[in-house]
Structure 1
Amino acid sequence: MKPWILGLTGGIGSGKTAVADRFASLGVHVVDADQAARWVVESGRPALQQIVERFGQEVLLQSGELDRAGLRQKVFADGAERQWLEKLLHPLIRAEVARHLALAESPYAIMVSPLLVESGQYRQVGRVLVVDVPESLQIARTTARDQASEEQVRAILNAQAQREERLKHADDVLVNDRDLSWLAAEVERLHRFYLTLRGAQK
C-alpha cells in the first residue's frame, strides 16, 4: 500500500523543523521542499547552468555554488525575473520532492513546505498539518535564530500566506507555544492518529 502524504507547513519561526524532526524520530519519512530547492541548483545540475546564463557569473560564489542570497536580492527587485526563476525551479522542485517521497516505506510520509498554501502544493497532499504560533512568538524566535531585525521578520511574515489563509487549509493544527517535551507528546498523539488513517480520509 502506497503511503499517503501529509503536508506540513507553518509561518517562519513556528517550529516546523522541530515538528518534522520529531516525526522523523518516530520513523516517518520526511521530505523538505526547501532542501529540494537547494538540491536542484547544486553545481553540475542543469538548473544552475540556466541561472548563470540568465544572470551572469556574479550569481556564483567562488566555490562555484549558487550565491542564493545574491540571487534572491536580484529577483526580489524584479517581478519578471522572479517569475522566470519560479517557472524554471518549481517543476524541478516538485519532481525532486516526488522522487524522494516515492522512497517512503512508512505508512505515511511528510512533505514539509513553508509555501504549501501559496504554491498550491496543498492540492498534492492527503492532509494538511499547520504548525501555528502567535505572531509575537514568531518574531521573537526568528530574530533570535537568524539575527534578523524585527522589520526583516515582519517583511517575511507579510510575504508568506497570512495565518488565516493557512489555517483555512488545515486539517490539523498544532499550536507550538510550549516546551519541547509538550511538543513531543503532541507529535506522538498526532502520529498515533495518522497511523489509523488509510489514504488520509478526512
Structure 2
Amino acid sequence: MRIIGLTGGIASGKTTVTRILERLGAAVVDADQLAREAVMPGTAGHRAIVETFGAGILLPDGAIDRKALGRLIFADPAARRKLEAITHPAIASLAEQRLATLRECGEKVAFYVAPLLIEAGVAGRVDEIWVVYVDRETQLARLIARDGITRAEAEQRLAAQMPMEEKAARGTVVIDNRGEPGELERQVVMLWERHCGSGHEKTGNHRVG
C-alpha cells in the first residue's frame, strides 16, 4: 500500500484538503484524531499528562482541556517537549494499527494526515509528502480569525512549527492554498486523478482514526 503523508502548517488548510480527498474516496488516517484518542480519560497518555502538568488542565468531565494545554505548551518549549514525549509514541502506535487495517482491506493508497509529520521525525513512515502551503501573513491572518487569538499568540504558535517555506521544500507535491476555495479544490482533484485515480481501485471512503 502506498502511503502519502499530508502535512502543512497550522491554519494552512490541511483539514479542508483532507475533506476534499475523502469526498473523492481517499482512505485517511488522521494524526490529530489519533492524538485525541491517545489522551482520552482512562488511557496511559491521559494519566501521564495529568501527572506531568497537573489537574488544572482538565475539563469538568475529566477530559484534557486542549486549549489550556495549548496555551501552556506554546509558551514553554520544555513543556511542549514533555508533551510530545508522551503523545508521539502513542500516536505512532495507533497510526501503525490503522494503516495495517487499511492494508488488510486492500487499499492501494492511504493518506496519513499529520501536522508534525516532518518535525516529529516520522516522514519515513510515508512514501511521499504532500504539503498544503500558505505564506506566513496569510497563515497568521487565518489563524487569528479561526482561533480568536492575538497576533502575538499566533506568532508564538507559528514559531513552534517548522517554517512553511522549509516544509514546502521537503514536499513531493505542494498544494498552494493562498487562493479561493474553488482553486484549492481544483488542485486537489487534479492531484487525486493524476497520482491516485488511475489504476486505483477505490474500496470506499475510509477515514481511520
With the length of structure 2 as denominator, give the TM-score of the two structures. 0.84
Separation of aligned partners in 2, 1:38 and 1:101? 17
Q: Where does residue 54 of structure 2 map in the other structure?
A: 56
Q: Where does residue 100 of structure 2 map in the other structure?
A: 102
Q: Where does residue 153 of structure 1 map in the other structure?
A: 154
Q: Where does residue 31 of structure 1 map in the other structure?
A: 29
Q: Where does residue 203 of structure 2 map in the other structure?
A: none
Judged with a 3 Å threshold, the aligned counterparts in structure 2 of structure 1 residues 92 and 126 are, in CA distance, closer, same or farther, namely same
Q: Alignment identity in percent?
A: 38
Selected match of 1:93 from 91, 94, 102: 91
Judged with a 3 Å threshold, the aligned counterparts in structure 2 of structure 1 residues 47 and 6 are, in CA distance, closer, same or farther, namely same
* Root-mean-square deviation over aligned CA pairs: 2.1
Q: Where does residue 189 of structure 1 map in the other structure?
A: 190
Separation of aligned partners in 2, 1:176 and 1:82? 28
Q: Is the 8 A contact 1:29 1:101 kept in 2?
A: no
Matched, 1:168 2:169: yes
Judged with a 3 Å threshold, the aligned counterparts in structure 2 of structure 1 residues 109 and 144 are, in CA distance, closer, same or farther, namely same
Q: CA deviation at 1:152?
A: 1.6
Q: CA deviation at 1:186?
A: 1.2
Selected match of 1:7 from 5, 16, 35: 5
Judged with a 3 Å threshold, the aligned counterparts in structure 2 of structure 1 residues 193 and 160 are, in CA distance, closer, same or farther, namely same
Q: CA deviation at 1:23?
A: 0.4
Q: Where does residue 118 of structure 1 map in the other structure?
A: 119
Per the alignment, in what secondary structure is the counterpart of residue 119 of structure 1?
A: coil
Identify unmatched segments of 5+ residues in structure 2. 201-209
Q: Is the 8 A contact 2:74 2:156 kept in 1?
A: no
Separation of aligned partners in 1, 2:156 and 2:77? 16
Q: CA deviation at 1:76?
A: 4.9
Separation of aligned partners in 1, 2:177 and 2:76? 35
Moved more, 37-46 or 146-155: 146-155
